[in-house]
Amino acid sequence: MLKLHHLNHSRSSRVFWLLEELGLPFEVVFHERHPETRMGPPALKAAHPIGKAPVLETDDGAIVESGAIIDFILRRHGNGALAPANDSPDLLRYLEWMNIAVSIGTNPIMLKVYGLAAGLQGTEFDQRADAEFAGVLGFIEQSLEGRPYLLGDTFTAADIQVSFVAELARVLIGIDAYPNMAAWLLRLHARPAFRATIEKGGDYAYAS
């Protein structure tokens, strides 16, 4: 049994999308952000004490953190899909991307979002956020040169995970300066499993 706690306009869409790509059966518990604070509802805390989405309920218990959830799903139910094999030379880059997606890639998003909320637009703080963004977006852009996906010709869960960085960058700072990344994002959003996620999962402000 897999039960996904899904929050509107959030990173839980990535897990929804992965499950759709794999064609796995799963239940969804829909949660809504508070219209003003944008925070998740208390019901998320009932699913997992940390109170963040996504949460995946499994036969072995509940788990948070999209990267850990995706790793769990692929190990248990992936049958080798969407990730390089342990002896593949692509494993190194794959693991790097999966971690960039939730650390170096997410830091500038949070800096930017909290900076804007605190009225720090145009300040030194905001410039620092832009510089952090430029670093990670430049790396994504360079990695996609002449390649349709982050690992080359093969679409993997790393594309799903890192897509959130590009989606938020597009909304927060614009991504016209990163044509490879912009084209990649459109390519990802055209996938039937992503379209199904939007159709079934509801509001997601970052879709193409």
Ligand X SMILES: N[C@@H](CCC(=O)N[C@@H](CS)C(=O)NCC(=O)O)C(=O)O
The residues of the shown chain that bind ligand X, judged by CB under 6 A, are 7, 10-11, 39-40, 51-54, 65-66, 102
- Write down the least CB distance from residue 205 to ligand X, Å: 11
Crossing angle for the helix pair 66-77 and 91-100, nearest 10 degrees? 140
Contact 96, 68 (CB under 8 A): no
Nearer to ligand X among residue 65 and residue 96 (C-beta): 65
- Give every strand in the sheet of 27-31, ordered side by side: 27-31, 3-7, 55-58, 61-64
Closer residue to ligand X in complex, CB, 53/188:
53
Cβ 39 to ligand X shortest distance, Å: 4
- In 3D space, the residue among 165, 185, 161, 169 whose CA is nearest the CA of residue 16 turns out to be 161
User: Measuring CA to CA, how many Å separate 191 from each of 32, 34, 143, 181, 195?
Assistant: 25, 30, 21, 16, 6
Nearest distance, CB of residue 98 and ligand X, angstroms: 11
For the chain, the maximum distance between any two Cα atoms, rounded to a whole number of angstroms, is 49
What minimum distance in Å lies between the beta carbon of 66 and ligand X?
4
Least spacing, CB of residue 7 vs ligand X, in Å = 5
DSSP 152: B
Residue 188 backbone zone (phi > 0: left; psi -120 to 50: alpha; other: beta): alpha
Shortest CB 112 distance to ligand X, Å: 14
Q: Measured between alpha carbons, how far is 86 from 91 in angstroms, rounded to an integer?
A: 6
Q: Which is nearer to ligand X, 40 or 108 (CB)?
A: 40
Q: Which is nearer to ligand X, 18 or 102 (CB)?
A: 102
Binning the chain into helix, strand and coil, the percentages to the nearest 5 are: 50, 10, 40
For ligand X, the closer of residues 41 and 148 by Cβ is: 41
107 or 154: CB nearest ligand X? 107
Written as one letter, the residue type at 103 is S
